[in-house]
Amino acid sequence: MITYRVGGPLDLDEVTELYRASTLGERRPVDEAVRMEAMLRHANLTVTAWEGPLLVGIARSLSDFLYVTYLADLAVRLSHQRQGIGRELIAATRREAPQAMIVLLAAPKAVDYYPRIGFSRHDSAWVLRPEANIR
Ligand SMILES: CC(C)(COP(=O)(O)OP(=O)(O)OC[C@H]1O[C@@H](n2cnc3c(N)ncnc32)[C@H](O)[C@@H]1OP(=O)(O)O)[C@@H](O)C(=O)NCCC(=O)NCCS
């Protein structure tokens, strides 16, 4: 049975291990504990999925709760994927801020996932990378 929890406290090592076990770790700074700790500490809306004591999924967001929720990371343990956990993590995130739209950047492996569960593509998404100059 999978249970869902809103908020912390969350253990940094457990979360980092989950990122690796989901493959999202390939695209997140999992070897930099300071950054991972900051990512966890400053996220103000986090939903986790548990199978008993095992952390199996996470949705990590930054939300103002009334206009927009930025879903920064969604990860489900490989062994637990395709069981509806990702969908439920997003549903639980939305229940916390029902009036807010959810915005995200899809990882390459998940580009077909979001339209499948109801997201629509936005044609004017823009990213300013930390190394880019503002002109
Ligand atoms: C993407 C991810 C979060 C999806 O979570 P999940 O729990 O496996 O997905 P769900 O079980 O909720 O899937 C819901 C539906 O989408 C489908 N689906 C799941 N992953 C998919 C994918 N990568 N591409 C297309 N469809 C997908 C499922 O088959 C299911 O369809 P159904 O309702 O017809 O059965 C998970 O696969 C993951 O952690 N991937 C690696 C990390 C990653 O890329 N995260 C996204 C960062 S933006």
Instruction: State the pLDDT at residue 109.
Output: 86
Q: How many CB atoms lie within 10 A of CB 47?
A: 23
Mean pLDDT of 97-102: 98
The residue extents of the domains of the chain are 2-116
Residue 56: CB within 6 Å of ligand 1? no
Instruction: State the pLDDT at residue 128.
Output: 97
Instruction: State the pLDDT at residue 135.
Output: 95
What digits encode the pLDDT tens for the residues 25-62? 999 999 999 999 999 999 999 999 999 999 999 999 99
Instruction: State the pLDDT at residue 29.
Output: 98
Residue nearest to atom 17 of ligand 1 (CA): 113
Structure tokens of 86?
């990702």
Q: Specify the ligand 1 atom closest to the Cα of 111.
A: 24
Rounded to the nearest angstrom, the distance between the alpha carbon of 26 and the centre of ligand 1 is 17
What digits encode the pLDDT tens for the residues 66-79? 999 999 999 999 99
Correct CATH for 2-116 of 3.30.420.10, 3.30.70.2190, 3.40.630.30, 3.40.50.1980: 3.40.630.30
